[in-house]
Chain A
Amino acid sequence: MEQLLQQVLAGLATGAIYATMALAVVMIYQAIDHLNFAQGEMAMFSTFVAWQLMQWGVPYWGAFALAVGLSFVGGVAIERVLFRPIHNAPILSQLVAFIALFSILNSSAGEIWDFTIKTFPTPFGTKPFLGSSLISTHQAGMIGVTLVMLGLLYLFFRGSRLGLAMRAAAANPESARLAGIRVGWMIALGWGMSAAIGAVAGMLIAPIVFLEPNMMLGVLLYGFAGAVLGGLSSPGGAVLGGFAVGVIENLAGTFIPYVGHQMKLTLALIVIVAVLMVRPTGLFGRAVVNRV
């Protein structure tokens, strides 16, 4: 029983990693209506930028702010330079462009910063949180930041004109254009925001998993799984999905005898696919109705 509690708590702590990433995944989904496979690598690259700034003597928060700002600009630039010219190409071609971007970022980061793991500082400290050694203050802080970002995004998309315009541009570009929304720039803005959220996610994740070019590989996969499980149209659902994936994975790995430890990933994926069987658009996703 004690171990159950511990594994659930540890799952929540790991789930916080996935949840942060899932939020960034949903952000780009809201903006461009599909997934960005290079998102993890973009986050990794942003984190390296922050690390490099700190190596040059910039204090933590300065580096943090600069990295988020640079990532925003970088995200907009990637959209303008790489994806704007092919926005009419089929979705699979765009997907391959994501794969290309992934490969470029991963390979250059390895060449610039090497592959040895690097520690990344945390602003929250690593003391046990509320006396529990299972969740550190950093992990608690990370959950807090994720929830705050979620709240801000909610307000942004529901409340602000810009947020509404972005949603309109993603959901129905033609009508949005007729309503005077500059759809192209809305998409670029979405890229920038998702890159910035990714940078925050990367900088929160790096203290836990260590900074190295391949650090986001697994995280992105689980982040996707979390986002899809929760429902891609729902930021709250995605965050919840991220936490759920963390917990499911730990429980399957620990408590399914013999098979569990060896097939942790497989079992977690089976659970997720099983959930999708029952709810094909995720737990909190809205079903898309096709018009004939």
Chain B
Amino acid sequence: MALGEPAAVRPLAPRVAKADAHWRNRQNLAVGASVLAALAAPLFVQNFVVFQLTLVMIYGLAILGLNLLTGFNGQFSLGHSAFYGIGAYTAAIMMNQNIDYYWTLPCAGAVCFVVGFLFGLPALRLQGIYLALATFALAAAMPQILKFQPLEPLTGGVQGISLLKPDPPPGVPLNADQWLYYFTLAVLLLMLGGAASFVKSRSGRAIMAIRDHPIAAAAMGIDTALYKTLTFGLSALYTGVAGALGAIVIQFVGPDSFPFLLSVSFLVGLVVGGVGSIPGSLVGGVFVLFVPNLAERISTGLSGAIYGVILLIVIFAMPLGAAGFARWAATRLRFARNPATTGSVGRK
């Protein structure tokens, strides 16, 4: 099963160098503008919206984790709610021991990396639907494990753990919501940058080669087993850090916070944002948080059905997700502006 759909990720056709450089400038400009907008946003909206935007970034980060695995390495997972939950519980348990919240992130990342790596080992033998089932098993089992009686002193059992909201450092003229927003934004930018350079690195090319053609990749001397398990670990790390941030911002973890449905939400966000697109993951975060709210505004009783209909419309309009749509629109735009230089794009 070609889950990653490599065609969507590769450039559409060889480009003319000049136009390409021009476009890259545009891209850098867009990234810069987005960062500036993100920095300014909390100063103009009320706290509740700041909180929502923080959640968007957190879900975006979690989806980015899934994207590294599915979009770039072609491995499928329905188990990322488990990694998110492990990250969240790591943070909550540590904060319960009066450890400062910022220390919980590297620990949550490390724990999830190990768990993800270990889970990646047996997953090596599985592909497609069989891998989906194995990862699903992880997600389905997670709430049961969190409720498990002997672990109760640690996990709080069915009652979960309530956390205190961290205050901004003394002297910083921000309220708690704004502070957490900037804290999350910093973590997000750091990890986005990490993901972008990872994807461009030798290792990144190796995992994409495995996605596109595992046998050819192995023939070229890529240690597919090692790279696949490492990607699993890295992917879990990203989602786990997101989970830790989620715990800090929500101030509560419980077994019911991390049901299998959360994995489904991540998957929806991944596809809507664009499989194999790093900025697309953030679009996915927006969708996951805001579209259910939109659906219930249309009809409270039928919110599930409306959500489904919106989802269908999105898939119909953008089968390759927001990122695919943006690429398509950009191509059209360039073609309209300068048919001579880009005439070869998309047609032969």
* Residues of chain A having any CB pair with chain B under 8 Å: 34-35, 82, 85-86, 88-93, 95-97, 99-104, 106-108, 110-111, 221, 224-225, 228, 232, 262-263, 265-266, 269-270, 272-273, 276-277, 280-282, 290, 292
Knowing that A104-B312, A111-B302, A276-B133 are A-B contacts, what are 18 other residue pairs whose CB atoms are under 8 Å apart, sorted by A's residue number? A34-B129, A85-B316, A90-B275, A90-B320, A92-B3, A92-B70, A96-B315, A97-B312, A99-B264, A99-B267, A101-B308, A111-B305, A221-B136, A228-B130, A270-B137, A273-B137, A282-B130, A292-B216
> Which chain B residues border A97 with CB–CB below 8 Å?
311-312, 315
Given contacts A92-B271, A100-B312, A280-B126, contact A262 B307 (CB under 8 A): no
> Which chain B residues border A228 with CB–CB below 8 Å?
129-130, 133
Task: Tell me if A89 and B319 are in contact (CB < 8 A).
Answer: yes
Q: How far is the CB of A172 from chain B (nearest CB, A)?
A: 15
> Which chain B residues border A34 with CB–CB below 8 Å?
1, 129
Given contacts A88-B319, A103-B305, contact A96 B267 (CB under 8 A): yes
Task: Tell me if B8 and A90 are in contact (CB < 8 A).
Answer: yes
Task: Tell me if B144 and A280 are in contact (CB < 8 A).
Answer: no
> Which chain B residues border A265 with CB–CB below 8 Å?
140-141, 144
Judged by DSSP, the binding face of A is helix
Task: Tell me if B148 and A99 are in contact (CB < 8 A).
Answer: no
Task: Tell me if B304 and A104 are in contact (CB < 8 A).
Answer: yes
Given contacts A104-B305, A280-B126, contact A99 B311 (CB under 8 A): yes
> Which chain B residues border A110 with CB–CB below 8 Å?
304
In angstroms, Cα B319 to Cα A236, docked, is 35
Given contacts A108-B305, A272-B133, contact A96 B268 (CB under 8 A): yes
In angstroms, Cα B133 to Cα A232, docked, is 12
Using CB atoms, name the residue of chain B closest to A89: B319
Given contacts A90-B319, A273-B137, contact A103 B311 (CB under 8 A): yes
- Cβ of B5 within 8 Å of any chain A Cβ, yes or no, is yes
> Which chain A residues border B34 with CB–CB below 8 Å?
none
Given contacts A91-B2, A104-B304, A111-B305, contact A269 B271 (CB under 8 A): no
- With beta carbons under 8 angstroms apart, the residue of A93, A106, A224, A290 that contacts B304 is A106
Using CB atoms, name the residue of chain A closest to B2: A91
Task: Tell me if A292 and B215 are in contact (CB < 8 A).
Answer: yes
> Which chain A residues border B70 with CB–CB below 8 Å?
92
Q: How far is the CB of B126 from chain A (nearest CB, A)?
A: 6
Using CB atoms, name the residue of chain A closest to B1: A91
Task: Tell me if A96 and B140 are in contact (CB < 8 A).
Answer: no
In angstroms, Cα B267 to Cα A106, docked, is 19
Task: Tell me if B125 and A277 are in contact (CB < 8 A).
Answer: yes
Q: How far is the CB of B322 from chain A (nearest CB, A)?
A: 12
* Residues of chain B having any CB pair with chain A under 8 Å: 1-3, 5, 8, 70, 122, 125-127, 129-130, 132-134, 136-137, 140-141, 144-145, 147-149, 214-216, 264, 267-268, 270-272, 275, 301-309, 311-312, 315-316, 319-321
Judged by DSSP, the binding face of B is helix
> Which chain A residues border B132 with CB–CB below 8 Å?
35
> Which chain A residues border B303 with CB–CB below 8 Å?
107
Given contacts A34-B1, A270-B137, contact A280 B127 (CB under 8 A): yes
> Which chain B residues border A225 with CB–CB below 8 Å?
133
Task: Tell me if A263 and B122 are in contact (CB < 8 A).
Answer: no
In angstroms, Cα B319 to Cα A93, docked, is 6
Task: Tell me if B272 and A96 are in contact (CB < 8 A).
Answer: yes
* 6 A-B pairs with the lowest CB-CB distances in the bound complex, closest first: A107-B304, A89-B319, A104-B308, A103-B308, A90-B5, A269-B137
Task: Tell me if B5 and A102 are in contact (CB < 8 A).
Answer: no
Task: Tell me if B129 and A91 are in contact (CB < 8 A).
Answer: no
> Which chain B residues border A263 with CB–CB below 8 Å?
141, 144-145, 148
Q: How far is the CB of A75 from chain B (nearest CB, A)?
A: 17
- With beta carbons under 8 angstroms apart, the residue of B5, B129, B137, B144 that contacts A272 is B137
Task: Tell me if A280 and B304 are in contact (CB < 8 A).
Answer: no
In angstroms, Cα B305 to Cα A108, docked, is 6
Task: Tell me if A92 and B267 are in contact (CB < 8 A).
Answer: yes
Q: How far is the CB of A284 from chain B (nearest CB, A)?
A: 13
Q: How far is the CB of B258 from chain A (nearest CB, A)?
A: 14
Task: Tell me if A276 and B130 are in contact (CB < 8 A).
Answer: yes
> Which chain A residues border B130 with CB–CB below 8 Å?
228, 276, 280-282
Task: Tell me if A221 and B140 are in contact (CB < 8 A).
Answer: yes
Task: Tell me if A262 and B320 are in contact (CB < 8 A).
Answer: no
Q: How far is the CB of A112 from chain B (nearest CB, A)?
A: 10
> Which chain A residues border B272 with CB–CB below 8 Å?
96
In angstroms, Cα B270 to Cα A170, docked, is 27
> Which chain A residues border B3 with CB–CB below 8 Å?
90-92
> Which chain A residues border B271 with CB–CB below 8 Å?
92-93, 95-96
Q: How far is the CB of A241 from chain B (nearest CB, A)?
A: 11
Q: How far is the CB of B215 from chain A (nearest CB, A)?
A: 5
> Which chain A residues border B127 with CB–CB below 8 Å?
280
In angstroms, Cα B136 to Cα A276, docked, is 13
Q: How far is the CB of B32 from chain A (nearest CB, A)?
A: 31
Q: How far is the CB of A269 from chain B (nearest CB, A)?
A: 4
Using CB atoms, name the residue of chain A closest to B7: A90
